[in-house]
Amino acid sequence: MHKRTLDVQQEGLEPQVVILRVSNMFVINYNYLVIDHIHSESILVDPAWDLGKIQLALDVSNTTLKGILLTHSHFDHIQLAKPLAEKYNCPIWMSREEVAISGYEAAQLQPIDEESFRVGSLKIVPLLTPGHTQGSMCYLIGNNLFTGDTLFIEGCGLCPNQEAAYNMFESLEKIKQYVKKTTRIYPGHKYARSPGEPFADVLQNNIYLQFSKKEDFASYRLRKGQKYSKFFEFY
């Protein structure tokens, strides 16, 4: 059902990442349960589709859900955020920009900026990464980056127009400058390669990280002849 990683970093015990593959008909997503074993607490990233699998992961982890991180407002990334937040009486975090452009509402919603914050021993560093949507956000927790539809292991998210593609280029450059080569990448979807690969491997193999000019990147990202039914290619 999941893959787990447990490492040691300078600040102490690295959080455990439980990978949850969930689906609704042909749409396949990856949700993540991030566990703080020091305080027996956890947070969820982009919960959707399979409430039973998510609930089982929480039960097995024997932790208290303390919050939900949303990378952006597309339905396949937020579908279970409200019911889970209501059940566990915990906050939902989404970028202030995404809240504004999406109109997303929830009683537990707390719009956030790029200021880091803590949940137990988990330090959460939000990185605003527009491109796929105007308010897309990645989250660095320990040595793990949760990228939603901004960065995949083999690609990046769709961009609706040239301005968005320019923004995506800048967001990927920001990730390259910010994260370490050892940082593990956890995207919202995958093609063939699995979530949790170190950024060094992603950097070497992802064609979208090879461009040095935003114009070239945008031209390739928006090239004609692409197959836009990408959900059919996720695994």
Q: What is the pLDDT of residues 162-175, one digit of tens each?
A: 999 999 999 999 99
- The count of C-alpha atoms lying within 13 angstroms of the C-alpha of 169, restricted to the half-sphere facing its C-beta, is 19
Structure tokens at 100: 């504004």
Q: How much is the pLDDT for 229?
A: 47
Q: Report the C-alpha gap between 194 and 206 in whole angstroms.
A: 13
Sheet with strand 92-95: strands edge to edge = 4-5, 16-24, 27-36, 41-45, 64-69, 92-95, 109-112
Q: How much is the pLDDT for 10?
A: 34
Q: How much is the pLDDT for 193?
A: 87
- By the 8 A CB rule, do 104 and 85 touch? no
Structure tokens at 193: 């390669």
226 pLDDT more than 80: no
DSSP 5: E
Please say whether the structural domain 4-225 has been given the CATH code 3.60.15.10: yes
Q: How much is the pLDDT for 192?
A: 84
Q: Domains of the chain: which residue ranges?
A: 4-225
pLDDT in tens, 30-71: 999 999 999 999 999 999 999 999 999 999 999 999 999 999
pLDDT in tens, 64-121: 999 999 999 999 999 999 999 999 999 999 999 999 999 999 999 999 999 999 999 9
Q: Report the C-alpha gap between 90 and 102 in whole angstroms.
A: 21
**What rounded mean pLDDT belongs to the chain?**
91
